[in-house]
Every structure is written in C-alpha cells, then in structure tokens.
C-alpha cells in the first residue's frame, strides 16, 4: 500500500507541478502580451468606464489629425481594459461632425476601429469593428447612450453602447461613447438569418419616396457620347482629366471633379448604401418594397405592405424617434438608419443617435421641437416620407402607433425613470467628464445640461472651453 501511495503521490505532485507551470505560463504570456484568451468576454461593460488605449506611430497620428477628412485607416495596437489586440486598423469617422470638429481645430475626433482589416480571421470579443464617438453635439455626453437604451427597451434591434476613457498614444482624448457596428455580426445576434441585404441609406434615396421606374431615365445624346470608350478610357473620364488639368493650371492645384452618372437617377440605388452582398447585388426585394410603399392603393395597402415590411417594428421606431427628438434620421434628413431585408421583408435599425434629445435641431427652435405633432413627427413635409405618412394614414396602424407612444411615456421614457437614469448615468461618467480636457463644453455646461437647455454656439454646438 505504501508503495502504491508513493507512486500515486509522485504522480499527483507531477500533475500539480505541470498545472502550475501551465497556468504560470499562461499568466506570464497574458501579462506580457496584454491578451485575454477568450472571445466570450463582454465587449460592452456598462457598470464602469473602461480605459481604451490606441497606440500608433507618431507619423500615423499626425496623418489622422492633418488628413482626417480622408478617413483613411492606419495601423495601430488596441488596448481594451488592459487586453491587447495588435495590428488593428483605425481611422477618423463622421459626416458633419467630422467636418466641424476638424475645421474647428480640435483633435477630439471620432474613430472607427477595424479588428480584421489586416487579419480577416480575427475578431475582438466577437466583433469585427467598434466605433468611438466624441459627443459632438452633447454637453452631457450621455444622450447617445440613453437613446440607444430606449430603442432597445422598446424591442428594436439596437446597437450596444458603453462609455470608455480613450487615449491615443500619450494624448488623453477623454470620455467617448463606444458603439457597436451594424454588420454581419450584429445581424447574426438579432436575426435568424444574417445573409440578407443590409442598406444604410442617404438622401435623397433615404426618404424612400421613389421606385425602380425612377431609375429608368433615358440618357441624353451627350450622356451616351460621354460613355463611349476612347482608347481604353471613357470619353467622360478623358474630359474630366482635361478639366482637372485646366483647374490645376488656373488655381495651382487640381480639384476633385466627379463625373455625373450618364443616368442621373441611378445615384438613387447607389445612395441606398448596400452594406452586404455587394459582390452580387440583387435589389429586387427593395424595388418591390418601394413600389408597394409608394404606389399600392389604399384599400390593399395593409395586406401588401405587411408582406414586405415589419410594420409593427417601424411603428415602434417612429414612436421612439419622435419622442426623443431624433430628427437627424429618417424623420429629418432621410439618413442615419439601416434597413435589413430577410426573404423580401424589411426591418429598420436605429443609428448615429448623437443628435437625439433635440441636440440636432435642423434649424428648429425649442418650441418647435417640443411641440412637434404626434401624427406628423417629421422635419419637412410628411408626404415626402412615405414610410411614416402611409403607415399613419391607416387608422389601425395609427392606433397601434399611439399605443406604443403611451407604452413609451409610461415606461422607458416616463419622467420618473428618465430622471433616475439621467442621474445614474451622470454619476457614472462625472469623474471622467471633469478630467476630460478636450471635451467641447465646460463642466458647468455638463451639469446644467442634465436639467436644462443651454446655448450651444458654433457648428453642432462646439464652443470654446470657458468656466
């Protein structure tokens, strides 16, 4: 028995030593690489503010700052809460916000991080991309996070968000909102099928007030001539090259002159912004949806539209968007939303909510925003936005929409709940707001804007830091 015990003890000790060496090796590797060997970890931590560091060469950082409007990727290392993901791609991002921040001279840009740009097999905690938004319009820096939360609570497929304390090299960028990318990974998380067409529309196509027939515009003789191939290049390209040369001779530098499409209305389908299946685009389902939305007779409209649209979900979207003043969207400019199609049926996904709670007013005054009509929740003519106009014109849909409005203001958007959430989230971010030296507003602005309107001078509300 003693011999058996000795052999067993020796084997056990050997096993223990092997485990210690193995674990120690993993700890050593983890400590020295910054990696955590799990894709199962949560990428959106909402009970604290996570530190994120982006480390790139000095030349690439200077390129990001000086050439931000080009939105070109550079190589960097990415640290999330101490975890290292090496060799990611990073670029500035944004539309009006990027232009305004860049032209103001601020370095507080928004960023997109692509984890599989240089390695197509890699993800970060199940994500291919992440967005880091700078709170461009928002003195409180919490509007975007709260807005996505409300859409989620009302049952819409919604990007996840969290707060991070962002650094680029040795520059403390400050408090940012981390936002999930709407892509195939997002679709797989929300839908049974992630192989459908995903669109990110821009105006004028984004108003959805057009059909396939609008693409069938006969080109003029001049446009046909411009498309003729001349020695390996289109005549229109040769003409543009000559024009660019003339511009360079006159002004000292060439302007970027874009050739108009020979069929101008073809831009409509381009501006629908197909984000999946780009190699083999098939827009048949989109054309059928638009035809029904715009031309189906009233008496057959409900039966027809429900075959190509998740009507119930869109009614919830409109209820939330109008209530939170999300006018930089389909309700206003006809953009900042996604459409996703599965088997010919579309759903809508909210996006880019930094202008919510009336912070993007599109020249509306405070009273106009607050007193926006419930059944006309748009900036601009309602009939130019058929996705809302036609649905709300049908009384049963309008009643369902009113039901969601009541559900919203008695639940997720009730004064009691919102007051509590604003205080809770403000308490979470306050220390980081106060230590943020690059934010667009002062600490006093932050505190006041939690409970009252404040002046927001300049493009999008950028104003000098003054206490």
Please, which pLDDT band fits residue 84 given cuts at 50, 70 and 90?
very high
Phi-psi category of 351—alpha, beta or left, where left has phi over 0 and alpha has psi -120 to 50?
beta
What is the spatial distance between Cα 127 and Cα 181, in angstroms, rounded to a whole number? 8
Helix, strand, coil distribution of the chain in percent, nearest 5: 45, 15, 40
Q: pTM of the entire structure? A: 0.81
pLDDT value for 124: 95
pLDDT above 70 for 460: no
* Span 223-234, average pLDDT: 48
pLDDT (tens digit per residue) in 96-152: 889 989 999 999 999 999 999 999 989 999 999 999 999 988 999 999 999 999 999
Per-residue DSSP letter, 228:
S
Mean residue pLDDT of the chain comes to 84
Comparing C-alpha atoms, which of 256, 120, 273 is closest to residue 203?
273
| CB crowding 9-26: b at 16 or more within 10 Å, else e | eeeeeeeeeeeeeeeeee
How many CA atoms within 13 Å lie on the side-chain side of 333? Answer: 18
pLDDT value for 143: 96
How many CA atoms within 13 Å lie on the side-chain side of 451? Answer: 5
Quick one: angle between helices 311-323 and 143-153, nearest 10? 150
Beta-bridge mates of residue 163? 177
């Amino acid at each position: 028995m003693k011999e058996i015990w000795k052999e067993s003890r020796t084997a056990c000790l050997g096993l223990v030593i092997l485990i210690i060496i193995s674990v120690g090796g993993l700890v050593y590797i983890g400590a020295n690489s910054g990696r955590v060997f799990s894709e199962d970890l949560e990428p959106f931590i909402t009970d604290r503010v996570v530190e994120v560091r982006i480390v790139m060469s000095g030349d690439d950082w200077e390129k990001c700052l000086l050439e931000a409007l080009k939105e070109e990727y550079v190589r960097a290392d990415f640290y999330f809460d101490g975890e290292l993901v090496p060799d990611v791609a990073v670029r500035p991002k944004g539309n009006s916000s990027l232009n305004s921040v860049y032209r103001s001279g601020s370095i507080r840009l928004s960023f997109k991080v692509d984890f599989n740009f240089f390695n197509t097999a890699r993800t970060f905690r199940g994500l291919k991309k992440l967005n880091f938004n700078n709170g461009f319009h928002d003195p409180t820096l919490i509007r975007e996070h709260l807005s996505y939360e409300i859409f989620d609570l009302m049952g819409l497929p919604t990007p996840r968000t969290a707060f991070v304390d962002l650094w680029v090299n040795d520059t403390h960028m400050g408090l940012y909102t981390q936002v999930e990318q709407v892509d195939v990974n997002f679709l797989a998380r929300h839908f049974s099928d992630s192989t459908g067409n995903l669109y990110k529309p821009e105006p004028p196509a984004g108003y959805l007030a057009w059909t396939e027939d609008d693409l069938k515009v006969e080109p003029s003789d001049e446009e046909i001539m411009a498309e003729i191939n001349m020695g390996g290049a289109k005549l229109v390209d040769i003409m543009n090259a000559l024009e660019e040369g003339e511009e360079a001779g006159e002004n000292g530098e060439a302007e970027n002159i874009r050739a108009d499409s020979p069929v101008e209305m073809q831009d409509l389908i381009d501006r629908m912004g197909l984000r999946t299946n780009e190699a083999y685009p098939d827009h048949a389902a989109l054309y059928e949806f638009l035809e029904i939305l715009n031309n189906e007779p009233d008496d057959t409209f409900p039966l027809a539209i429900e075959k190509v649209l998740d009507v119930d979900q869109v009614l919830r979207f409109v209820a939330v968007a109008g209530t939170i003043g999300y006018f930089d969207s389909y309700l206003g400019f006809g953009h900042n939303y996604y459409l996703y199609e599965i088997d010919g049926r579309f759903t809508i996904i909210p996006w880019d909510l930094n202008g919510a709670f009336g912070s993007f007013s599109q020249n509306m005054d405070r009273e106009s925003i607050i007193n926006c009509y419930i059944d006309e929740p748009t900036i601009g003519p309602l009939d130019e936005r058929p996705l809302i106009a036609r649905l709300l014109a049908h009384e049963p849909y309008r009643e369902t929409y009113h039901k969601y409005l009541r559900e919203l203001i008695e639940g997720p958007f009730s004064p009691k709940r919102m007051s509590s959430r604003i205080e809770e989230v403000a308490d979470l971010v306050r220390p980081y707001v106060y230590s943020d030296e690059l934010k667009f507003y002062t600490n006093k602005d932050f505190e006041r804007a939690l409970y009252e309107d404040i002046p927001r001078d300049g493009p999008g509300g950028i104003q000098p830091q003054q206490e």
